[in-house]
Chains A and B, each alone.
Chain A
Amino acid sequence: MGHLRQRFSEFVVGLMFGVGLIISGMTDPGKVLAFLDPFGSWDPSLAFVMGGAIAVGFFAFSIAKRRTTSLLGDAIHLPTSNQIDKRLVGGALLFGTGWGLAGFCPGPGIVSMASGEIKAAAFVGSLVLGMVLYEMLEHYRHKAHSVPPLDSASTYE
Chain B
Amino acid sequence: MIDWAHFTPWTSLMGGLLLGVSSALFILLNGRVLGISGILGGLIPPKSGDSAWRISFFLGMISSPFLFSLLAPSGLASPPRIDAGYGLIILAGLLVGIGTRYGSGCTSGHGVCGLSRLSPRSLVATLTFMSVGFLVVYLVRHVI
What residues of chain A have their CB less than 8 Å away from a CB belonging to chain B? 3, 6-31, 33-34, 36-46, 48-65, 67, 69-72, 74-79, 81-84, 87-107, 109-117, 119-120, 122-135, 137, 152-153, 155-157
Contact = CB atoms under 8 A, between A and B. Distances in A.
Contacts of B1: 41-42
20 contacts: A6-B53, A17-B108, A18-B60, A30-B80, A34-B6, A36-B133, A57-B117, A64-B27, A88-B121, A92-B99, A94-B98, A95-B100, A97-B95, A98-B96, A105-B36, A106-B107, A110-B62, A131-B100, A157-B35, A157-B119
Contacts of B100: 91, 95, 106, 131
B104 A28 contact: no
B86 to A, nearest CB: 6
Interface string B90-107: 111111111111111111
A79 B7 contact: no
A91 B50 contact: no
Contacts of B135: 96, 100
Contacts of A15: 60-61, 63-64, 67
Interface string B109-138: 111111111111110111011111111111
Nearest to A94: B99
| Contact-residue bracket for chain B | 35 or more
Most chain A CB within a 10 A radius of its CB, from B81, B100, B119: B100
A45 B64 contact: no
Given A61-B113, A65-B117, A122-B86, 19 more contacts: A22-B76, A23-B15, A30-B82, A43-B3, A43-B8, A50-B111, A52-B12, A52-B15, A54-B112, A60-B20, A60-B23, A103-B83, A107-B61, A113-B62, A117-B80, A127-B96, A133-B97, A135-B44, A153-B42
A100 B132 contact: yes
B76 A94 contact: no
B140 to A, nearest CB: 7
Nearest to A61: B117
Given A115-B65, A125-B93, A105 B35 contact: no
Given A57-B20, A106-B36, A95 B29 contact: no
Contacts of A84: 120-121, 124
Given A12-B60, A29-B81, A134-B101, A99 B129 contact: yes
A19 B8 contact: no
B138 to A, nearest CB: 6
Contact of A21 (B15, B45, B115): B15
